[in-house]
Amino acid sequence: MQTNLITEGAITFEAEGAFYNPKMLLNREINVAMSLSLGLTDYLDALSASGIRGLRVAKEAGVEKVSFNDINPHACQLIEKNLARNSILGTVTCSNANVLLHERHFQAVDLDPFGSPSSYLSAASRSALSYLFITATDTAPLCGAHLMSGIRKYMAVPLRTVYHREMGARILLGLAARELARLDKSMQPMLTHVTDHYVRTYLRLTNGAKAADRCLRKLGYVEHCPACGSFRLMPEAEPEGICRHCKGKTRLAGPLWLGGIHERETIKTALGWDGLGHRAQKILSTCAGEIEAPMYYDHHSICERLSLTPGKIDEAIERLIERGYQASRTHFCGMGIKTNACMTDVEMAIRPD
Ligand SMILES: C[S@@+](CC[C@H](N)C(=O)[O-])C[C@H]1O[C@@H](n2cnc3c(N)ncnc32)[C@H](O)[C@@H]1O
Ligand SMILES: [Zn+2]
């Protein structure tokens, strides 16, 4: 196996092409910051490849017990070598992740698969005692570009909308909430970001049937109007109807997670780690400033539809706040406006006086 020597963060390690994706550096960097802020003690990198994710958690977040697993024996050899090179003690298993996750419990389980995490979610929900971290790179099914695949993998109907990045995150969270609820567990997302072509979420877990019931009540549907881009959140599925804003025919997406996706204080603590690069800092600060209202309006497409020359997004947000609404920017999209106002009020805030 032809390997290269790579340095990422505080780790120098060996990897070969299929086992190392440099585009995920930001994902791993934020992972170290979150692991540090949570004070983890026991972490499983369930799909390790070269082991870089777990190695960084061990060295840079100082997590005492880090376990590595990969089904591929070459990957396991690499992990052993990389542990020795960095003088880190860790346990390495070469199992099918689903088998390991059914056999053992870990304080924190990290799923970072090629593509969809859906086939590991059930076992990971069982194994994880306090935290479950998930990456999904199958954004096409999650965001509604591949409808049937989305339905099969996530047991939900996704829709391709201007806020498709958040749609994808909430479809994934919706499945996680249901998988956990089957085991009488509930979840509280601490950070959820969609960056490049993946969704990444950090979930805090709690045991108990009552909490799981409360969690399931945070699932719901989104009625979306493809004609004007307005949307409405609904606790129950309803027949597709007529848009209140433009009278267009609406479509329904869901079930998906309509609860909070960030914990501001945890993100602020994570921001305190000095190993974060500029882009990661920016993503985390924007996430910390996001209001809780699900989905967002796209400033640019509204201006286009109304034939307006786009003004400043921040000014539109200010006007919404002056009128008593909650409003913020969003890391999901540079043109996005998160608000609890309806389309008519957003249009008023965007139009020059
Ligand atoms: C995307 S890579 C992991 C990347 C790594 N976490 C990182 O940050 O660099 C996914 C890994 O999962 C492994 N894998 C695939 N199916 C598996 C299974 N059922 N059980 C355990 N490992 C599996 C593959 O061999 C591959 O190394
Ligand atoms: Zn409409």
- Around ion ligand 2, residues with a beta carbon closer than 5 Å are 225, 227-228, 230, 243, 245-246, 248
Whole-number Å distance between alpha carbons of 222 and 332: 17
Domains of the chain listed by start with CATH number: 4-218+253-289 (3.40.50.150), 297-350 (3.30.56.70)
Smallest-distance ligand from the CA of 241:
2
Q: Write out pLDDT tens, residues 109-136.
A: 999 999 999 999 999 999 999 999 999 9
pTM: 0.98
- Interatomic CA distance for residues 273 and 8, integer angstroms: 16
Where do the H-state alpha helices sit in the chain?
A: 25-38, 52-60, 73-85, 97-103, 118-127, 139-143, 147-154, 164-181, 209-216, 264-271, 278-289, 299-305, 313-322, 343-350
Q: Whose CA is nearest to atom 4 of ligand 1?
A: 49
* Ligand 1 atom at minimum distance from 70 CA: 22
Using 70 as the pLDDT threshold, list the residues of the chain that sit under it: 352-353
The residue whose CA is least distant from atom 27 of ligand 1 is 49
CB within 6 Å of ligand 1 — which residues? 19-21, 24, 28, 47-50, 52-53, 69-72, 75, 96-97, 112-114
Which of 294, 84, 82 is CA-nearest to residue 170? 294
Q: Closest Cα to atom 19, ligand 1: which residue?
A: 96
Ligand 2 centre to CA of 243 (Å) is: 5
The pLDDT of residue 353 is: 66
Whole-angstrom distance, CA of residue 343 vs CA of residue 244: 9
Q: 14 forms bridges with which residues in the sheet?
A: 5
Closest ligand 1 atom, residue 20 Cα: 9
Q: What is the model's pLDDT at position 17? A: 84
| Neighbouring C-beta atoms of residue 196, cutoff 10 Å | 10
Q: Which atom of ligand 1 is nearest to the CA of 110?
A: 6
